[in-house]
Amino acid sequence: MKKLGLVPRLLLGIFCGILIGSFLPEVFSKLIYTFTYIFGEFLNYIVPFVILAFIIPGIAELGDKAGRLLGSTVLIAYGSTITAGISAYLIASRIVPAIVKSASVANPEEGGLEPFLHLEIPPLLGVMTALVTAFVIGMGINYIRNNGDHQNLYGFMNEFRDIIVLVIENVIIPFLPFHIAGVFANMAYSGTAFETLNVFGKVFALIIAMHLGYLVILYSISGSVAGKNPFKSLKNMIPAYTTAIGTMSSAATIPVTLKSAKKNNIREKIADFVIPLCATVHLAGSTITLTTCAIAVVLIQGGTPQFGHFLHFILMLGITMIAAPGVPGGAVMAALGLLTSILGFGEGATALMIGLYLAQDSFGTATNVTGDGAIAMMVDAIGKKTEKAKKTA
């Protein structure tokens, strides 16, 4: 019997999760959610190691191109995030006023499943700490290698990467469908997200349409730069998109994003560097969602979404969300300070904002990680052209 591919297994996990959370006794939902809780703890534990294992050897193998590659990747990712936010404002500020009819929307109720077993697995490093550590060690190894010194640490990091790849291929990817089933069982059981989606269905439909539209535009640009078919490249990223819908974490989806991106013939050393980095610095989907939801909340309160305020919000959002943890809802939590200081949201508005954002967090995350593949294509193509120009000079 032919084994199901990753995408069908992920879809099956989503379907089974909704079925369990909606129709079976609570004990079944709690049982699968217990697995999801423990597996989520393991993901949070392993993600910093994934960043270290891929970025350090990636920088070390780049020679004198490491600094330039880092700068170009961050610049392109930030530009994509800001462009996504401004585009979302220009579209949503014209459409959302016609959608939002009421100035009184109930805050989402709290609730959800509790696991049978609380097993905490604290990560040894935070995501940002791992990222900075990876840059420092990677640059150090790069310098040592270029100066002909000992390469013991370089060999160790390559072996460390091999270990992490084994964990990804034999533990994380096989169990992802079960993890996603638990996520959707919890959503179906609590009903909070679906109730909010029912109230703001048209707003979310607009957000998802903007997500998909932005991905098509982004891949059309990257495909033009790289000389590749944008729709075929986008199709190769579907497993990453589907996985992110369940994990609701760019960092936790890194293994699948890497696997999908490499199908687009991106050089392995580029993909291993750009994808984990973009999981932290490229948040186009989250920016589209936060901008649109913020416009909706401003309108609900009877205000007017002014471009100057929102431009300031978007520019700062692209920086602030870099500190967001790789967990569901991390982006909106990181944005709360900006919502209150720039847009003047009070407690009621921020509570409503959190509810609106969390109701579709998975789709924003899916757009983030899928866009990472386009950034990797652009960085790889620019790197190839630069190398070719140097050879012919």
Q: What is the DSSP string of 208-271?
A: HHHHHHHHHHHHHHHHHHHTS-HHHHHHHTHHHHHHHHHH--TTTTHHHHHHHHGGGT--HHHH
Stretch 37-48: mean pLDDT: 80
Stretch 70-96: mean pLDDT: 91
Using alpha carbons, select from 110, 154, 94, 108 the residue that is nearest to residue 292: 94
pLDDT, one tens digit per residue, over 175-184 is 878 877 887 7
Segment among 14-23, 35-44, 329-338 with least mean pLDDT: 329-338
Please, which pLDDT band fits residue 121 given cuts at 50, 70 and 90? confident
pLDDT of residue 298: 85
* pLDDT over threshold 60, residue 173: yes
Does residue 110 or residue 47 have the better pLDDT? 47
pLDDT of residue 42: 85
What DSSP string runs through 276-309?
Answer: HHHHHH--HHHHHHHHHHHHHHHHHTT----HHH
Segment among 47-51, 158-162, 321-325 with least mean pLDDT: 321-325
pLDDT of residue 93: 92
Segment among 15-24, 137-146, 199-208, 321-330 with least mean pLDDT: 321-330
What DSSP string runs through 314-382?
Answer: HHHHHHHGGG--SSTTHHHHHHHHHHHHTS---HHHHHHHHHHHHHTHHHHHHHHHHHHHHHHHHHHHH
For 30, the token pair is 């709690």
Q: Distance between CA 102 and CA 379 in Å, rounded?
A: 45
Stretch 303-312: mean pLDDT: 89
**Architecture (CATH level 2) of domain 6-392:** Orthogonal Bundle (1.10)
Stretch 333-360: mean pLDDT: 72
pLDDT of residue 196: 47
For 88, the token pair is 């979302």
Does residue 106 or residue 235 have the better pLDDT? 235
Segment among 15-19, 61-65, 240-244 with least mean pLDDT: 61-65
* pLDDT over threshold 90, residue 323: no
pLDDT of residue 322: 65
Stretch 197-215: mean pLDDT: 83
Segment among 3-12, 98-107, 363-372 with least mean pLDDT: 98-107
| pTM > 0.85: yes or no | no
